[in-house]
Amino acid sequence: MAVFAASAAAVATGLSLAAGVAAQFTARTDLVEVYATVTDREGRPVTNLPVDAFTVLEDGVERPIELFVQGTFPLTVALGVDRSWSMAGERLAIAKRGAAASLEALGASDDALVLAIGSQVEVVSSLAAAAEAHRDAVLGLTPWGTSPLGDGVVEALEAVEEGSGRRALILWSDGSERYNERSADAVREQVRRSRVLVYPVAVGRAAPGLFHELGALSGGRAFAADTRERAANVAATILGELRHQYLLGYAPPEGDQRRPGFRAIEVRVRDPQLRVRARTGYTVG
């Protein structure tokens, strides 16, 4: 089964302490989890939709929704900050402001970790660290090294998978890459296998194609920030989205759970005035 298949009972247990959660559960233990973000035409999150507002398809075939959760859940957020030489000066200042604003938007029940991406990828503040340590780690970053962004994405995904609740990676970078050990295809595959929502933020430039692709594959999305004020606004937008998502669970077709390969997922909303974003699929085997 895919890495983000989970027991409905386990999901219920993990969310039992969250405030304002509306949920329906079944006893199935092979459900595929899909996080969906619904927005109106102005891009504002839409909340309190019922389960029958959604349709989920796997490989083009509609599947019954057997798990449905909405509300405010604890978050685990990995902040990846590109500190390479190409980020020196104002770009790094913009990235640090965005990362700090992300931390400021987290609640008491949320967790975070901070990764610095230079010639090496370093966890400079772990999940076990206090909020003040996360902020100090971000503000203390200085330019150093090259830009192995692909390696940074993979290592951030692996680190944040150890967290609980809804998991996300917010990556702050100018998009310049050098000396990755992993190929772009390997990074894409890791995103497909992960349950982590990826939000790449292009600093000082338009978001490159790979940023958009990683966001779409995971159910997140790419942004751009060319000022410190814009970075803070982007951070608030991302955290707002993470607070107002829906968790849908469905069972794959009988006999199909163990067949290796990629499964395409499509989530739809019945109201044509609304837009929905969710991960595009998952990989088995």
pLDDT at residue 231 tops 90 = yes
Quote the pTM value: 0.86
Q: Does domain 75-242 have CATH number 3.40.50.410?
A: yes
Q: What is the pLDDT of residue 255?
A: 63
Give Cα 175 distance to the centre of its chain: 18
Q: Which pLDDT value is given to residue 29?
A: 52
Q: Which helix (H) or strand (E) holds 5?
A: strand 5-6
pLDDT tens digits, one per residue of 75-99: 999 999 999 999 999 999 999 999 9
Widest Cα–Cα separation across the chain = 55
Of residues 11 and 243, the one with the higher pLDDT is 243
Q: What average pLDDT score do residues 214-231 get?
A: 95
Tens of pLDDT, residues 99-140: 999 999 999 889 999 999 998 889 999 999 999 999 999 999
The yes-or-no verdict on residue 278 having pLDDT over 50 is yes
User: Tens of pLDDT along 15-34?
Assistant: 333 334 444 434 345 789 89
Residue spans of alpha helices (H) in the chain: 8-15, 90-104, 131-139, 149-160, 184-193, 209-218, 228-243
Q: Where in the chain is the domain with CATH 3.40.50.410?
A: 75-242
The pLDDT tens digits of the residues spanning 163-200 come to: 878 899 999 999 988 888 888 899 998 998 888 999 99
**Residue of higher predicted confidence among 182 and 8:** 182
More confident residue, 258 or 151: 151
Percent of the chain beyond pLDDT 90? 63
The HSE-up count of residue 281 (CA atoms within 13 Å, CB side) is: 12
